């Protein structure tokens, strides 16, 4: 039976790819599940690859490889701990992640930072600049936008990348 297990390195923000490359160069198996998403800027939108689990890289190895993987690795912070031990991810769980990424269009990254009732401002598109309250969350936000000047209320569906939180409920 192999003593190799899956461990999780916590990385600095947006350093997941750098950490992955450094671990792989050391001939240690590592995995960074990526997903394609749409990012919005003030003048355009673009499809980009982002980590499914931002801030984490999975490393497969024995105790010696676990230590070697993080030692001197720029961007790596520490291993994730659970009950004062290094967290170990089951092979089946890694396998399930790999299988689920075979249908990436079915995966949505949910932004748990906002909830129903929060006041948000639209940051992209036709409704840019308008403020409204989140009335539903189903992968995308369904907003009720109140335009005070016209004394009108209407609903519009927007993606989470199109709004910024203004005030919590």
Residue 111 inside a domain? The answer is no
For the entire predicted model, the pTM comes to 0.66
Pairing of strands 119-122, 152-158: unpaired
Least confident of 52-61, 73-82, 92-101, 155-164: 155-164
Residue 113 inside a domain? The answer is no
Q: What's the pLDDT at 67?
A: 96
Q: What's the pLDDT at 63?
A: 94
Count of the separate structural domains present in the chain: 2
123 & 100 share domain: no
Q: Give the pLDDT band of residue 154 (cuts 50, 70, 90).
A: low
Give the structural domain span for 160: 119-167
CATH number at residue 10: 3.30.70.940
102 & 129 share domain: no
Q: How many angstroms separate the first and last alpha carbons of the chain?
A: 53
79 & 140 share domain: no
96 & 127 share domain: no
Q: What is the pLDDT of residues 39-85, one digit of tens each?
A: 777 778 888 888 888 899 999 999 999 999 999 999 999 999 888 89
Residue 159 inside a domain? The answer is yes
């Amino acid at each position: 039976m192999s003593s190799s297990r899956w461990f999780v390195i916590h990385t600095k923000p947006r350093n997941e790819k750098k950490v992955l490359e450094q671990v792989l160069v050391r001939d240690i198996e590592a995995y960074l599940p990526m997903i394609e998403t749409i990012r919005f800027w003030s003048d355009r939108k673009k499809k980009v690859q982002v980590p499914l689990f931002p801030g984490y890289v999975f490393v497969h190895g024995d105790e010696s490889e676990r230590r070697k993987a993080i030692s001197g690795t720029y961007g790596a912070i520490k291993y994730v701990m659970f009950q004062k031990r290094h967290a170990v991810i089951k092979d089946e769980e890694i396998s399930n992640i790999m299988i689920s990424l075979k249908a990436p269009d079915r995966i949505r990254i949910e932004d748990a930072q906002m909830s129903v009732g929060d006041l948000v401002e639209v940051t992209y598109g036709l409704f840019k600049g308008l403020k409204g309250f989140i009335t539903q969350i189903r992968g995308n936000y369904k907003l009720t936008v109140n335009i005070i000047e016209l004394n009108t209320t209407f609903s519009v569906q927007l993606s989470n990348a199109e709004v910024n939180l203004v005030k919590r409920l």
